[in-house]
Amino acid sequence: MSTHLQTFFSGQWRDGSGTLYSTEYPATGEVVAQLHASTAQDVDEAVRFAEAARHQPDWAKLMPHQRAAILHKMAALIREKSEELAALQRLDNGKPVKECRALVASAAGTFQYFAAVCETFESSVTPQRGDFLTMSLYQPLGVVGAITPWNSPIASEAQKIAPALAAGCAVVIKPAEITPRMAIEFARIGEQAGLPQGILSVLPGKGSVVGDALVKHPLIKRIAFTGGTNVGLGIAELAAKKLMPVSLELGGKSPTIVCADADLDHAVAGVIYGIFSSSGESCVAGSRAFVHASVYEEFKRRLLAQTAKLRVADPALESTHMGPLISKSHRESVERYVALALEEGGKLLCGGKRPAGDAGYYYEPTIFEGLPNTSRTAQEEIFGPVLCLLPWESEEDLIAQANDNDYGLACGIWSQDYKTALRLGSAITAGTVWVNTYKLFSISTPFTGYKMSGLGREKGAASIMEYMMQKSFYWGTNAQPLPWSQS
Ligand code: NAD
C-alpha cells in the first residue's frame, strides 16, 4: 500500500512544488510512498523562512538549558516511537529490522548527548597577555544545510540535526531522494517537542536540484554532507566560492588486517560483520581483508563456513542477517563489479549472484581471492556485499598495500599483541581504527575520513563548535589612555 507523504517547510506540512515521485520497498520492489519533490524555489523559501525564524525570540532567546530541554524531548519521542521509526526506516531502504532498531537507538542517544553538550558548553576566558582580558564567545552560524545518503538516514541525519540545534542554528535537511521518511519524521518529532516553526525543514528531491540549490544559497552558512566522494568534491568546490565551511563524510574502501597471532574465530566474525552487515552498503565496510599468509588458508576455510550460514532474507524477520540492496540500479552496479572482478582474474569463492526465487533486490555475500590490491575491484568502493581476500607476509608490504588506496575512512586490526595493533593502526591512513572489533560507534568519539574519505568531523562534544562562530572580545583594563597618541 502506497502512502502519500507530505513534507514540512516554512513552518507548514505541505507538498513540495515539484513533480510527484515514488519510493519503493527494496525487499519487494513495491511502491510504498509518493511525494512531490522540492524545487529550487522551495529551497529559497524554506531558507529565508528559517533565517527569519532563527532570529525570533522563541528560538534566539532560549537559554542553553531550554534548547537542551527540546533536544531531550526529541530523544524521548524517538525512543517512544522506536518501533514505528524502525519499520519506516526499513520500508525506505530495506535494512533488517534489527539494524533499523539499533540506528533508531543511536539517533535517540545522539539527541540526548547533544542536549548535554548544549547545556554544559562553556565559553572561555583566555590567558591575559597585557592590559586587557580576552574572551571567546560562540554564536550560532545561522541556517545550515544537511545533505544525507540513503544507507543509514536516521543516524546520519541525527548527527547533523542535533549538534546544529544544540548550537542554536536552524536546519534545512535534504535527505536522499529515495529515503525521505526519517527526515520527515524528525520534522514531526521536532514539532511535537516544541521546536519553533522554521527551525527544522525538510526538502526531499534530487541532489542536482535541491541539494545544489541548498549549497549555493547565500543564507546557508554551512553544509554537513554525507555521501559519495564525487558529489562531496562538487560541494566542496561550490562551498569554496562562498568561503562556506563544510563537513564531508564520504566513501571508503577499508582494509581489515588479520595478523598471524589473531584469534581466528573473532577475526572471522569481525570481518563478516564488517563487510556483510547492511549488505555491505556501509561507508566503513571492511571490503579488503589482508590475511597473514601463515593463517590464510585456515582463515579462508572458517570464513567461508561462517558466510554460508548467513541468512539473506526478508528484512522484516528478526533472524535476517542481510536484507536486499537499496535498488534495482544499485544491484546492477554491484553485479557489474562482480563481472569486472572475474575479468580481472579474481577467483570467486562464494556468492556472485542473486539468491534464487526472491522478488526484491537481494544479492548473496560474495568473496573473491586472487586479485591484486591494484585491481579496480580492490580499489573502488562497491558499496555492496563483496569482499576481496588478500594475503600478506611482511608488515612493510602490508602497510604499503593497505594505504595504496584513494580512501582513508577506517581500518580493522585483528591481533593479540597490543604493540602490533598500535604499530599497524598508527601506520594506516584512516580516520577510525578498530582493534579486535569492527563497526562499533560512539557518539562521544569523533568520526572523520582521511584522504578522499572526507573533510571535517562529526560527533564528539567539540563538534557543536562546527555550528558556531567564535568571536574574540578584548576588554581593556588600562589605568591610563592608550599610549600611542600620548607621547
Ligand atoms: P550520493 O553522493 O549519491 O548522495 C548523497 C546525497 O547527496 C543525496 O541526498 C543526494 O541527493 C545528494 N546529492 C547528489 N548530487 C548532489 C549535488 N550535485 N549537490 C548536492 N547534493 C547532491 O551518495 P549515496 O549514493 O546516497 O550514498 C552512498 C555514498 O555515501 C557512499 O559513497 C558511501 O560511502 C557514502 N557514505 C559515507 C558515510 C560516511 O560517514 N563517511 C556514511 C554513509 C554513506
Judgement on whether residues 85 and 27 belong to the same structural domain of the protein? yes
How long, in residues, is the chain?
487
**pLDDT, position 174:** 98
pLDDT of residue 231: 98
| Mean pLDDT, the chain, whole residue set | 97
pTM listed for this prediction: 0.97
Map grid coordinates 569523533 to a residue.
446
Res 1: pLDDT: 74
Higher pLDDT, residue 356 or 426: 426
446 lies in some domain:
no
Lowest mean pLDDT among 5-9, 235-239, 451-455, 478-482: 478-482
For position 355, which CATH number holds?
Answer: 3.40.309.10
CB 269 within 8 A of CB 275: no
Q: Measured from the CB, is residue 431 less than 6 Å from ligand 1?
A: no
**pLDDT reading at 272 higher than 90:** yes
Q: What is the pLDDT of residue 487?
A: 84
pLDDT band at 357 (very low <50, low <70, confident <90, very high): confident
Cβ(146) – ligand 1 distance below 6 Å: no
298 and 321 housed in the same domain? yes
Nearest protein Cα to ligand 1, atom 18: 208
The arithmetic mean of pLDDT across residues 166-186, rounded, is 98
As a whole number, mean pLDDT of residues 146-168 equals: 98
The proportion of the chain whose per-residue pLDDT surpasses 90, expressed as a percent, equals 98
Q: Which of 435, 462, 481 is the last residue of a domain?
A: 435
| Same-domain check for residues 295 and 420 | yes
On whether residue 363 sits in a domain, the answer given is yes
Is 230's C-beta closer than 6 angstroms to any atom of ligand 1?
no
**Measured between alpha carbons, how far is 66 from 168 in angstroms, rounded to an integer?**
11
Pair 318, 413 in one domain: yes
pLDDT tens-place string over residues 111-132: 999 999 999 999 889 999 999 9
φ, ψ for residue 474, nearest 5 deg: -110, 125
Query: Which H/E stretch holds residue 371?
Result: none
Check whether residue 211 and residue 317 sit in a common domain.
Answer: no
6 CB-near residues (< 8 Å, 6+ apart) = 13, 14, 15, 35, 184
Please give the residue range of the domain that contains residue 314.
Answer: 255-435
Asked whether residue 58 falls in the same domain as residue 108, the answer is yes
Together in a domain, 384 and 425: yes
457 shares a domain with 347: no
What mean pLDDT comes out for the span 132-157?
Answer: 97
Place of cell 598471524: 260
Per residue in 408-450, pLDDT (tens digit) is 999 999 999 999 999 999 999 999 999 999 999 999 999 999 9
Q: Whose CA is nearest to atom 9 of ligand 1?
A: 176
CA of 231 to the centre of ligand 1 (A): 7
Domain count, the chain: 2
pLDDT by residue (tens digit) across 360-397?
Answer: 999 999 999 999 999 999 999 999 999 999 999 999 99
Among all residues, which ones are annotated catalytic? 249, 283
From 43, 110, 151, 327, the mutation candidate for ligand 1 (largest count of ligand atoms within 8 A of CB) is 151
